[in-house]
Structure 1
């Protein structure tokens, strides 16, 4: 039944999306039928002189209705349907003003007298009166804005946690995915500059704690021309200090000392200390904010190393006392030079140390949708891979009001990241090798004999977990030094009908990559007689390069507003240069570059400033207009692009460091970016001042994804995995978002999404196997993508009782409650079919490779609750106690799917015949056992907290 419904929805989305407009109109019909008429009138005056303003414009947002003041400053707008509205008031030379929640009543006149302030040298373009609207009727974007006050009520630790709660965002073992896109496709911006590690492939390049965020915007559709994320945009603004000194602290832990690794506790501590305010003796012009955040946990797997060691940190004992260690420090200084002129400096530093293999996701090569526990080393985690990720983001921002209609924003940033992966802090390799380093599972006592009493007996193998003292085969080190210059001009036309933005963003990168498998291979071997056997190889395979590419873009857009209609027309000219390393490889006859690639590279690039450049134009269009009062229809169309992971461009191009492994990687300097073309149609409805609904349909076409082909060169016996632009995908979906303020004490949100993501392959490596199997690169067959999660439903409730609230005789004064729940489709998998029994009686199942990822595993569901009790000692001083319960009902959500059952493995379940089965011990068993504790997401966890503020 479920599959039939999914097929129906998929067909509807594919064939009947053009009927969506009519569906939106029908949904709004009940609201239109209830509308009645009223009048809005009043005066507009200068706030200082009280003189009437002649010709001031009063406009009702979400409608076509408006008026201008007469010679006495009076205005009147008639025939307004009953409801709650936002009223916008503007006048040349004065600050624009928004009045939220103005109620118009049937057959009555609502009086609204307005005073405007003359626009001085201030950067604030709009003054807002009243509560924040539950839906933004002026914006044609699919965007959610979250303030620090909203974040304070949530049970989140960092920006990723906040984003994961929003519509269209799915959190998986890989990371955050927006509207069916891949993890690396989301653009992360902090204080105006890029904050993404371009080499790790995990999204964020720096850890930003939720307590350091002033406000956050999650843009899933209709982004401005200054941004260029193919999936979504996450824009974060760091907090600034206020006019008064404020100190805040928070500490949470999941145990009371005696139960560190029992029940709902796994030795977790989370702490934060933040201080902000004016710097003394600066007349409150110089303000600061700083915070230190620590998150330490031994994780729910119940598997720990004796000590995680990092080879790039000075004191591993301090920075990595547990299995998962997160440290971050934030500093922000802001100085008001003069009215309308401001400068600020932000520094965001973070350190992560763990053994989670998802810390490094080489895009296109990593396992899809798999948790990062290195289960093979379960009995010897001291020998597993330890990952250390350091990052430092520094941003200098300057804002200047040039005149009443023109502002300038400048951001200069430096992002430095360094990721090291090694065998728990061990050196790259010893000077000489005299023992086996490869990890393996060997038979140990007690030895169990299989088929005893027969003519031939066998010894059963071990459990599959490494036990020979071998160490991790991974050694990786990369760093990124990215310098960014971004400037942007904002122009407001005197009549406030045009808002023009134009500017440039330029990035110069210094990237170094060293990736080696089994690094000890190639080290000298010392023989018993004291002689040495030397080798020149660097591991069994290696990829080494140091490059300095550049990229950027010029952008311009004009937002035109006229009588309720908003149209945004923009474009971005994106340019990039692979750098001197690629240019030299193309010119070097000894480099392994196809002649056709050499020719195309020179034809399709333009030489400028000593480098060869490419460019692409990315148009954008956004339109919104009222269909009835407080019901706005919007449409978005846009192109965006993402440069391929540098490994696809530079691997193996240096003749000195070419890998000679069986199937080594070979870069393609002429690769083009991956491109997305997106379409979006939706409606925003403000039913009342406290109830808003947004309904959206979206469609995205992706093309020029990376595909690997296998090549051989004359005189070179090594087969090469060569990258080209070939793959494509398409994503379509529906979203609905509801925001409801029941009263000032109770707020509720609900959002639901349905999407379908299909394409030719999930990774470049998978595409190579498909090409070899089909014998052609031109196959057009699509499959479900591994990260496609059709249904995603989220809801949250924030309740702050008033002073008179009582629950079963208990006064609720001072309490705060936050409840959230999430339901989403399980992970996709390729199904297995029954193929008989073997001689041991074990059922055989084989993969249906012609139907990849066609089935969906058991659904995920969890709910979280946070209860806080404030004890106040003044208007701004308080101490709070909290209890946070994550996964209240202890749901077992499967993140490693048994393709026979569609859920996580339980003892006795049938397994694929190629997988080790504990029920049927067999001498031919191989691989890891199916009992990986990471096959389920985290169980229930209870955190106890204390916080203070003064």
Structure 2
């Protein structure tokens, strides 16, 4: 007891020291070194994002209660185990998540096997054994152990979903699982927010390897549900081993091959069954969705079960639920304005202006615009949000020895898709095609030094590629003159033309991690880790423009050509940023409390330039030239100068001073983040936890490197990145209670507060040439406060149920980092006080009810209900309104799965039905600002110059959620 009190006091002193050093020291390295030495003094030794769990406990003589020395504890069907010490205690580390049988045995005693022990990532499972003396060597007792409702070592909010639960739920995609977790909000555009943070504040990990796209902050690869062994969502504070996140951690551990060959093949097909065919065009199309997935795992022959594999592959095809109609093709040309335009002016065969006002009879109507309409489409319905996905995922695991395991993992996917564009509804072939390709591969060496120590070495290689264009070849003759991209008036569909930009980007990241974990004594489990990542970022976007002859005259008929590299319509860059990190962490488990304490150091080098003078960011060269005609001195900008203009006398900048390089290397950034979490068991059925921590994140590369050529367009139309952006910072406080209410029911109540500073925003810069641009800086701020209540009924009598409710208020000065830029363009003052953020959902309720008899039948129902998200109202004749001061309608959705299993000759066959949005609810994601509804607005009627009516254009199927979808599938497994 005295030892524990001493250690608790040292925890306080250590953390107090860290806080002082973090906030007052200018020397980050000295803090790390001193803290490391102090930790050695406390613990006597040291200690990976977590991918394994831990078992600890006591073994006693059942008749006397005395501890048994040297009793063996083994995890069956593995090589993992330990022996008890002089106090009868044992500890087993480095256990992959899953369900195991754990056996304790000793000569002269009856062996005891505990069946169905569930191990989770970074969670301590306590198993106490009592062995009866016996003269029979093979006596054995089996005990089925139920999962504990209260996790006493939990110091912050954690949601765990295992592969068995995923198989029972009506979910198809990885994101569907996340949407059911407490504290997670799905925004109007489908983006994921955790506890009120921006969608880019989440870190995604697979087997401890980051799979977050550093350019956008989104998930870089697809994760198939079949691959998941365990999914953890850490929505509260998280340990020092996790970095580059401010809102939460999504941690996935994938399956490994088993000790026998198993396989499964599944197929399903489905369609949208919606009564809203007046809103969703062609929703009655048959067989809209199809899916085939194959999985297999087991030992590799000839390797004596040392080498095992897991493989899964999936093909998914959906035509979506948003359709257009091909009334027009890109080559069509129309004119709705009152001017004398002929079709040959846009580069095609001549057709005289008929003077038809739109009635189609060729006659002119006095006082109305002269029009002509070329309509060459076949009238077919065309999907405008289709998606085709092919993915393959696998893992090879080689057990070199009982203590060494090497694994290689690969995730690969290819996705072709389109996003609905309302203006192209009648000219669907003119809109963009989009492509995502990516892979993540890892090589992991895991070496167990003893039952109390192990280390892990990881190498990773991730790649993400994104493309967007109408036709891949920029010289494709199907590109037409931009004049044909004619939407006639603001609320009219396009009747010809194509999008004229092409966009390419990819990021390849190489990483290495080294981690050491050691159970120093019964109270301390310490960790130390290092991490390094090198990124290779490529970006290129350009506009396709009309080709010109040597005299600068546009060639007719139209010929497409990419804008030149010197043009502001052509942006290209490549950068090689570097990340590094180190952390120290100690998990202290005493009888009185459990403490997680840690410190993380992060380093980032953008490897880029920044302008020295922001008012001359493009650093333009001007030549002072002696004119050969009259001997005068003239000034020409660099790209305007030609040798015939005369001799260059000097090179100056925009202010007339001698031109010099106006750029310098961006400075690297350093950051320290202390964190602590405490759990205090108040009984054998309850525990209180408190946690506090500092969390930081480098802004995404999209903002860091935006407009890396520092080009400034005329007027306020340019944005510019900033390679010296500071880390964004969040301080999180959390307090919670876990309480078991009955044998199978538990409740978890958690309150939280987040204070976020240095968020990404913008500032407006005026140049010497009176042009204006917006530059990213750390200026935005916000805070989130809320409470989560989760009630869970452990599976009993074939029924499992859970429900969680979240109340939260998410506020900030801006939801969009570009808000200052947008406000300046519309001559509006930016907010200086906090307002509700776009994803501020005050009330959220999720539930899951599953009734099943494993191996026979199952029925599962999940529901999501949420209050309306905010929007900014538009009030007629009122110049200013309060941002996000009104609310959209509430949202709800219910999904259902029913399945029946049959076993025939050793093969398990399953027939299932899944229904999504079973009540065909039209959730209004986006609304008109004057009504707050998606279905109508009350703007004054305007005359539409086009082929549609105003009502037709204002009918927006993309403003609503996905309609009811039903799929029927079969699977076979052995």
TM-score, reference length from structure 2: 0.72
**1:534, CA displacement in angstroms?**
11
Deviations 1:294-346 (A, max 9, x none): 2211111234889999xxxxxxxxxx998111221102100111112101001
| Counterparts of 1:530 and 1:638, CA distance in 2 | 60
The aligned counterpart of 1:236 is 252
The aligned counterpart of 2:841 is 789
The aligned counterpart of 2:545 is 520
The aligned counterpart of 2:379 is none
Deviations 1:124-182 (A, max 9, x none): xxx99723233422211211111111111112223222111111112232421111111
Aligned: 1:157 with 2:188:
no
| Counterparts of 1:154 and 1:546, CA distance in 2 | 43
Asked if structure 2 preserves the Cα contact closer than 8 Å seen for 1:431 and 1:523, the reply is: no
Aligned: 1:868 with 2:895:
no
The aligned counterpart of 2:298 is 277
| Counterparts of 2:544 and 2:196, CA distance in 1 | 37
SS in 2 for 1:216: strand
SS in 1 for 2:818: helix
SS in 2 for 1:520: strand
Asked if structure 1 preserves the Cα contact closer than 8 Å seen for 2:838 and 2:884, the reply is: yes
Asked if structure 2 preserves the Cα contact closer than 8 Å seen for 1:522 and 1:539, the reply is: no
The equivalent position to 1:224 in structure 2, one of 239, 245, 254, is 239
Aligned: 1:822 with 2:850:
no
Aligned: 1:171 with 2:234:
no
SS in 2 for 1:688: coil
1:575-594 alignment runs, 5 A limit: 575-579=603-607, 581-582=608-609, 592=618
Asked if structure 2 preserves the Cα contact closer than 8 Å seen for 1:42 and 1:113, the reply is: no
**1:355, CA displacement in angstroms?**
1.1
Asked if structure 2 preserves the Cα contact closer than 8 Å seen for 1:904 and 1:935, the reply is: yes
| Counterparts of 1:283 and 1:522, CA distance in 2 | 67
Deviations 1:792-813 (A, max 9, x none): 10001111148xxxxxxxxxx8
**1:897, CA displacement in angstroms?**
1.1
C-alpha change, 1:264 and 1:218, in structure 2 (3 Å) is farther
The aligned counterpart of 2:482 is 436
> Which deviates more, 766-775 or 185-194?
766-775
Asked if structure 1 preserves the Cα contact closer than 8 Å seen for 2:170 and 2:862, the reply is: no
The aligned counterpart of 1:288 is 309
SS in 2 for 1:764: coil
Asked if structure 1 preserves the Cα contact closer than 8 Å seen for 2:536 and 2:575, the reply is: yes
The aligned counterpart of 2:387 is 324
The aligned counterpart of 1:186 is 202
1:775-854 alignment runs, 5 A limit: 780-801=832-853, 814-833=856-875, 845=876, 849-854=880-885
The equivalent position to 2:497 in structure 1, one of 463, 470, 491, is 470
**1:590, CA displacement in angstroms?**
8.3
The aligned counterpart of 1:674 is 728
| Counterparts of 1:793 and 1:530, CA distance in 2 | 56
C-alpha change, 1:272 and 1:321, in structure 2 (3 Å) is farther
Deviations 1:645-675 (A, max 9, x none): 22332233436x7766752122222211211
**1:113, CA displacement in angstroms?**
3.8
| Counterparts of 1:183 and 1:476, CA distance in 2 | 22
The aligned counterpart of 1:198 is 214
Asked if structure 2 preserves the Cα contact closer than 8 Å seen for 1:819 and 1:865, the reply is: yes
SS in 2 for 1:553: strand
SS in 2 for 1:781: coil
**1:440, CA displacement in angstroms?**
2.2
C-alpha change, 1:934 and 1:40, in structure 2 (3 Å) is farther
| Counterparts of 1:337 and 1:304, CA distance in 2 | 60
1:429-828 alignment runs, 5 A limit: 429=475, 435-436=481-482, 439-442=485-488, 464-467=492-495, 469-494=496-521, 496-516=522-542, 518-520=543-545, 526-528=554-556, 536=564, 541-579=569-607, 581-582=608-609, 592=618, 612-654=667-709, 663-714=717-768, 716-741=769-794, 743-770=796-823, 780-801=832-853, 814-828=856-870
| Counterparts of 2:759 and 2:797, CA distance in 1 | 48
SS in 2 for 1:648: helix
1:122-133 alignment runs, 5 A limit: 130-133=145-148
| Counterparts of 2:824 and 2:108, CA distance in 1 | 73
| Counterparts of 2:117 and 2:791, CA distance in 1 | 22
The aligned counterpart of 1:56 is 88
| Counterparts of 1:739 and 1:140, CA distance in 2 | 19
SS in 1 for 2:954: coil
Deviations 1:776-825 (A, max 9, x none): 88x641111111111110001111148xxxxxxxxxx8211111111011
SS in 2 for 1:416: strand
| Counterparts of 2:728 and 2:858, CA distance in 1 | 46
**1:53, CA displacement in angstroms?**
6.7
**1:475, CA displacement in angstroms?**
2.0
C-alpha change, 1:264 and 1:821, in structure 2 (3 Å) is farther
Asked if structure 2 preserves the Cα contact closer than 8 Å seen for 1:438 and 1:472, the reply is: no
Aligned: 1:300 with 2:321:
yes
SS in 1 for 2:487: coil
C-alpha change, 1:742 and 1:151, in structure 2 (3 Å) is closer
| Counterparts of 1:377 and 1:411, CA distance in 2 | 47
Aligned: 1:344 with 2:407:
yes
Asked if structure 2 preserves the Cα contact closer than 8 Å seen for 1:554 and 1:574, the reply is: yes
Larger Rg: 2
**1:769, CA displacement in angstroms?**
4.5
**1:462, CA displacement in angstroms?**
9.1
| Counterparts of 1:885 and 1:629, CA distance in 2 | 41
| Counterparts of 1:574 and 1:133, CA distance in 2 | 36
C-alpha change, 1:428 and 1:911, in structure 2 (3 Å) is farther
Deviations 1:666-698 (A, max 9, x none): 222221121111111111112234211110011
| Counterparts of 2:672 and 2:951, CA distance in 1 | 49
Deviations 1:864-896 (A, max 9, x none): 11000001136x630100111111111111112
C-alpha change, 1:255 and 1:724, in structure 2 (3 Å) is closer
| Counterparts of 1:262 and 1:533, CA distance in 2 | 39
| Counterparts of 1:624 and 1:763, CA distance in 2 | 37
SS in 1 for 2:544: coil
Asked if structure 2 preserves the Cα contact closer than 8 Å seen for 1:52 and 1:73, the reply is: no
Unaligned runs of 5+ in 2: 1-61, 75-82, 92-106, 110-115, 134-141, 331-382, 621-652, 654-662
**1:47, CA displacement in angstroms?**
4.3
1:140-155 alignment runs, 5 A limit: 140-155=155-170
TM-score, reference length from structure 1: 0.73
SS in 2 for 1:872: strand
Deviations 1:77-118 (A, max 9, x none): xxxxxxxxx999xxxxxx997349xxxxxxxxxx94489xxx
Deviations 1:21-41 (A, max 9, x none): xxxxxxxxxxxxxxxxxx998
SS in 2 for 1:161: helix
Asked if structure 2 preserves the Cα contact closer than 8 Å seen for 1:44 and 1:113, the reply is: no
Deviations 1:330-377 (A, max 9, x none): 021001111121010011001111112xxxxxxxxxxxxxxxx21111
**1:642, CA displacement in angstroms?**
1.7
**1:856, CA displacement in angstroms?**
1.3
Unaligned runs of 5+ in 1: 1-38, 60-71, 75-85, 89-94, 101-110, 116-126, 310-319, 357-372, 443-460, 596-604, 803-812, 834-844
C-alpha change, 1:773 and 1:385, in structure 2 (3 Å) is closer
SS in 2 for 1:946: strand
